[in-house]
Structure 1
Amino acid sequence: MNQTVEGRIPVLDVGPMLEGVPGAMDALAASIARSCRDTGFLVLANHGVPQALADGCFEAAARFFALPEEEKLALKVGMLNLGFLPTGAQVIRTSTVNHNTKPNLNESFYISRDYAADDPDIVAGKPFIGLNRWPPGLPGFREATMAYYTAMQALAQRMLPAFAVALGLAPDYFAEDFTDPSCTLRLIRYQPQPEAEDNRFGFAPHIDTNFITFLAQSALPGLEVRTREGTWLRPPAIPGTFVVNTAEMLGRYSNDRFAPTPHRVVNASNQMRYAIPFFFGPGNDAVITPVPSCVSETEPAKYAPLRYLDHRRKLNQTNFAHRQQAGETVA
């Protein structure tokens, strides 16, 4: 049975830490550590991101998904997963918590860093770097989504030291790996699913594969989090806050001390549900290795060093139909 468990997913006031109040970083880090050892989910209040930016991004998402199907398909994702992903194109085969056999019941639009066509990284054809695919007939769409993207990347960078301190590390421990972070804004529209269907979800049970994820509160419920005991619960739905969850790379850095928590989406309403998750990960060339504070003689490293670019490549080849149709080998 789905439920909200009071206090199990804490609401944390991050304002004092962001303002540099003495002692606030350590206090926040202690709360983050407690939550990451339990559900891996928390809610951030007083984060400094204007609500108007989130509202503008939600509105932009609704305008895009309302376009005729042929206009959206003209922007369909290619090898870099930028642009439109239609319903039926993603099955989460990498999930270790559920044998997912059916596509997610949603359509998405992916946005990353907005490069110019003559940017040296674009010209050089660097892996996983490409041009965003902007809809030509939606004035203000690019501006609204990129304003939100920019604000969320800034917030994520400001939160990074707190996660380092939560692991008993210096605040700047992760700075080098996140000098040029890999960030993705995913606009999602979930189709109504008022009647349960066996093993069919708006988003099937999974863990996120980046470092941490920020999710603005949606107008309709749908997100469900699985506790260590196997109960599914919903995070507190407080307008103006962000739900934040740990992801696979933080799990690897922490040697599973902060293991990512499985979650899913079920849109049981009779309306379209919108979500705008922001995924924050290390740079493509970062090598993820368990941190010193989480490794000892009694707790040896569980993971070999992993280059983030290799991790991203394997995930995309496994979970997305268009990558498999292109004839890529799934390692």
Structure 2
Amino acid sequence: MTLPQSRRLDFSEIPILDVGSLVAGDDDPTLINALHRACADVGFLYVRNHGVSMALVETLKESAATFFAAPVAEKMKIVIDPRIQGYLPLGYRSYEGEDRAGTSHQEGFWIGHDRPLNNDALLDGPNQWPDGQPDLRRAMLLYFDAVESLARVLMRGFALALGLDEHRFADFFKKPLTRLKVNHYPPQNTPTADNDIGVVPHSDSGGFTILWQDNCGGLEIQNKNGEWVGAPPLEETFVINLGNIMQIWSNGRFSSTPHRVINRSNRDRFSIPLFVNPSADIGIRPLIDFDSNHSTTFNYGTYQRDLWRQTFPVAKIPA
């Protein structure tokens, strides 16, 4: 897969957008224009007035902290499976191409849409849950519903920003491979190399990501000049970043921007990303200025499964 060239700039800060009007169903042209600039020039933005309860966020963070404090042997009982659902152990090795290879100083817990096993849909399956922690299950499911609702609002905004029908993306997410993850970054005293930090430099693979981060900081994004720009935590905001699929859909008008995490705080850092991914059975191609003579269509599910296989060897995704 080759990404279309993006117009990402040598930015020095990340835009902050109030999306309250979009949440309310009012497609304010000023906001849509600002959204277009943020997605085109940076590929990252903060959103406020998003409609998600911060109390819900805090409840999930506390439940996640309890889960990560459990003995490793307990967590490994629900180790991540070939559908990328379950516990991802600390210090997993990533092999997703030379630009992403490295050891991530992070552990995580993943869930997706709870579906029965299906030989015709190899990334579908039931979630795994730790025994004796009903609060984690309850909090993750409530959070998933709330933030996925925000994702649908943002899809409409992205479509309008690209000059498309506001419902253009909806058909691509009828049975999404969206995944919710809670992350724990233990303190790391000497993160000295890009291949041994909280999360190694990478671009997200799917549609887009909605991230909550605690007040430790550590997220950095890379501008066109190769400089790392901090994305510090801002109260009552989410960080939104676009993935490779959105860059393809936009034919390079929007940017899937490289980023990394380094926990320099000497404290335990927690974050909660929702990876908003389309349905496995859709074909991916540019939606704007599509040239059938020079552009190809590929299956999203195959692409994502191959990528996850390379990124998470511990999941043992069959070839």
TM-score, normalised with respect to structure 1: 0.87
Q: CA deviation at 1:304?
A: 1.4
Consecutive unaligned residues of structure 1, counting only runs of 5 or more, are 116-120
- 2: CA distance between counterparts of 1:165 and 1:123? 35
Q: Match for 1:284 among 280, 287, 294?
A: 280
2:258 aligns with 262
Structure 2 residue 199 is the aligned partner of structure 1 residue 203: yes
Q: CA deviation at 1:126?
A: 2.6
- 2:215–2:233 CA contact under 8 A, matched in 1: no
Structure 2 residue 274 is the aligned partner of structure 1 residue 271: no
Q: Deviations over 1:194-218 (max 9, x none)?
A: 2232231100000001101001131
Change in 2 beyond 3 A, CA 1:254/1:61: same
For residues 82-231 of structure 1, the aligned pairs below 5 Å read: 82-94=85-97, 98=99, 100=101, 102-115=102-115, 121-122=116-117, 126-198=121-193, 199-231=195-227
Q: CA deviation at 1:270?
A: 1.2
- 1: CA distance between counterparts of 2:232 and 2:169? 29
- 2:184–2:268 CA contact under 8 A, matched in 1: yes
- 1:92–1:206 CA contact under 8 A, matched in 2: no
1:44 aligns with 47
SS at match of 1:77: coil
Deviates more, 1:243-252 or 1:77-86: 77-86
- 1:254–1:294 CA contact under 8 A, matched in 2: no
- 2: CA distance between counterparts of 1:272 and 1:228? 31
- 1: CA distance between counterparts of 2:257 and 2:65? 29
Q: Match for 1:316 among 294, 308, 312?
A: 308
* Amino acid in the other structure paired with 2:142: A
Change in 2 beyond 3 A, CA 1:27/1:94: farther
Q: CA deviation at 1:228?
A: 1.1
- 2: CA distance between counterparts of 1:191 and 1:90? 16
Change in 2 beyond 3 A, CA 1:301/1:182: farther
* Amino acid in the other structure paired with 2:314: H
Number of equivalent positions = 309
Q: CA deviation at 1:10?
A: 0.9
- 2: CA distance between counterparts of 1:301 and 1:284? 25
SS at match of 1:210: coil
1:65 aligns with 68
- 2: CA distance between counterparts of 1:305 and 1:50? 39
Deviates more, 1:189-198 or 1:49-58: 189-198
Structure 2 residue 24 is the aligned partner of structure 1 residue 19: yes
Q: Deviations over 1:34-91 (max 9, x none)?
A: 1112110000000000111111111111011011111101111121121111123231
* Amino acid in the other structure paired with 1:173: R
Q: CA deviation at 1:323?
A: 4.7
Q: Deviations over 1:2-35 (max 9, x none)?
A: xxx99731110110122133x51x3222112111
SS at match of 2:117: helix
1:118 aligns with none
Consecutive unaligned residues of structure 2, counting only runs of 5 or more, are 1-9
- 2: CA distance between counterparts of 1:60 and 1:150? 17
- 2:32–2:161 CA contact under 8 A, matched in 1: yes
Identity %: 34
- 2: CA distance between counterparts of 1:235 and 1:246? 15
- 1:9–1:236 CA contact under 8 A, matched in 2: no
SS at match of 1:12: strand
SS at match of 1:182: coil
2:7 aligns with none
- 1: CA distance between counterparts of 2:252 and 2:139? 37
Q: Deviations over 1:264-313 (max 9, x none)?
A: 0000121111111111011111111101x3447xxx88641121101111
SS at match of 2:197: coil
* Amino acid in the other structure paired with 2:43: G
Structure 2 residue 66 is the aligned partner of structure 1 residue 80: no
- 2: CA distance between counterparts of 1:7 and 1:200? 25
- 1: CA distance between counterparts of 2:257 and 2:183? 21
- 1:216–1:243 CA contact under 8 A, matched in 2: yes
For residues 293-304 of structure 1, the aligned pairs below 5 Å read: 293-295=288-290, 303-304=295-296
* Amino acid in the other structure paired with 1:170: D
- 2: CA distance between counterparts of 1:170 and 1:125? 31
Q: Match for 1:55 among 53, 58, 72?
A: 58
